[in-house]
Structure 1
Amino acid sequence: MKENPIRSLPGIPMLLVLLATTLLGGWLILSSVQDGAPGWIAGIALMVVSVFLMLGAYMVEPNQAAVISLFGKYVGTVKESGLRWNNPFYGKKKVSLRVRNFESGKLKVNELDGSPIEIAAVIVWRVVDSAEAVFNVDDYESFVHIQSEAALRAMATSYPYDQHEEGQISLRSHPVEISDRLKEQLDERLTAAGVDVVDARISHLAYAPEIAHAMLQRQQANAIIAARTRIVAGAVGMVEMALAELEKSGTVQLDEERRAAMVSNLLVVLCGDRSTQPIVNAGTLY
């Protein structure tokens, strides 16, 4: 069911007219009683009809819609703000069109590799079709919350927590891509309720407490290995450059044994965790 805009009459002029007819009915009643004429019946009828028609007045706030129905049948939607008037027999249900947001609770799920993680998201949404929001689902606000948690669970199980391969999308390393994917899943689930997802962002992401310490140790180990690999690669390059410069200038002539010793000493100096202590050799290498 799609939204169907309908027109409504301004409420203030209608109330003024109805107030005037009510006063006219009261005047007819008083005049008839004083003169003994039967006009009091018309006065009472006029007052009753005027008061009943006043029930058709209702107020629509800015960024709000009034869904109009007649005995259960959808008639249309009024979005003009202010005091409006329609048929008193019409039922009117107000729907907010303002932008709203909520943060899901911390969900405990298993990511793609099977590790338990905690994840939460902030969802920004608004109603764009009031008829679908009212008639397609029972409670559109509850529907948005439940479907958002379901989409977040489904998305979290589709990606690993950490990036293991070059170019692989993971929850921690690609927040923009993950947010876009979450928004796509939410749009697919909430379109039937007339809801548009403005934005969806991960607000909390962490390993579950029972494995957090072990995963922290693994991350630290990976960082140490990566740092050591880079240090060794740089040290090898510096040693090669030093040997090439010495041979080029002819300052020192090194045989294979002295060359090996020099390489060993340079690598110890460049790759060691602590400051090296020099040893003065007063004799020869042999």
Structure 2
Amino acid sequence: MVSSVTTTDFSSEIGFNKFPYLLVKVSEARNLGSFSENCSQFTPYVKISTGSRSYSTIAKNVSNTVHWDETFEISGDSQKPLKCCLMDRDEFDGDIMLAGFAIPRELIKQFIEETTLWIKLEQDLNCGDSFEESQIIKPFCNEIKVEDPDHYSEPIVCLKLTYYGLECLKEYNAEITDYESAVKNNELFTQYTVTVTRRDGFSWKIKFRYSQLDNIRKSLVLQFPELKKLYFPGKTFSLFNLVSLKSQFNEELLQKRKIDMEKFLNYVLKYRYHEKSQEFSEFLNMPAEIK
């Protein structure tokens, strides 16, 4: 039924999966002068950790402002808080933790849309060179958030967080991105390309013809009578029209049919009929990574 399927990642650095996960983008840090003035060579980086797993940005030799724009994918199953620490690279005496904070997992799960946080990096000057992690990492609260970073002069870091829970990973959108005339067994027909995109950006393409989707619709209506009221375009092309698929008349019909079929696909995806119908699930041909 499906002539070809391709998958496309929106970022080569991010691996998509079917389990909840958190995307953490470490954007930048500003006003780091109070940290750098006590260092002969200040090479800051940000370390993100949850439980026993940790991730680090590139260390950069700067004095006041640093841009990283690095994104990390972190398991969403852990109940451990997300710890973020500003570190200073020291190849001789070992890296130094300068400031940090911990965001509770309960709060992270609320970030179902990308959320930008500017957070204070408060240095505990009483720690000196000997400290416990608990002295450096502050619990996350409204008092350490910065609402107007452009008018704040103390050290701050910018994180962009997006949490993809199980419900988010079941949300799909279909868009018919192309159609073209094709011939098979001396039969001329229109072949459509639909791009199915999961909420986190994972997408794949399916090529199909009108009759294939119409047969699936009829099967769905038999199984789920409530779908009978859902509009689906009829087959209105005559033999003459098929010979001139690129005529203005047919372009208008194809555009309208495209819109109507998109509405049908997005309705059945929204209410997850692909989880109830094996035939529709086979039509979608979801990549193995997300099944």
TM-score (norm 1): 0.25
Q: Which has the larger radius of gyration?
A: 1
TM-score (norm 2): 0.25
Structure showing the higher strand proportion among its residues: 2
Select the structure with the greater relative contact order (CA < 8 A; seq sep ≥ 6). 2
Structure showing the higher helix proportion among its residues: 1
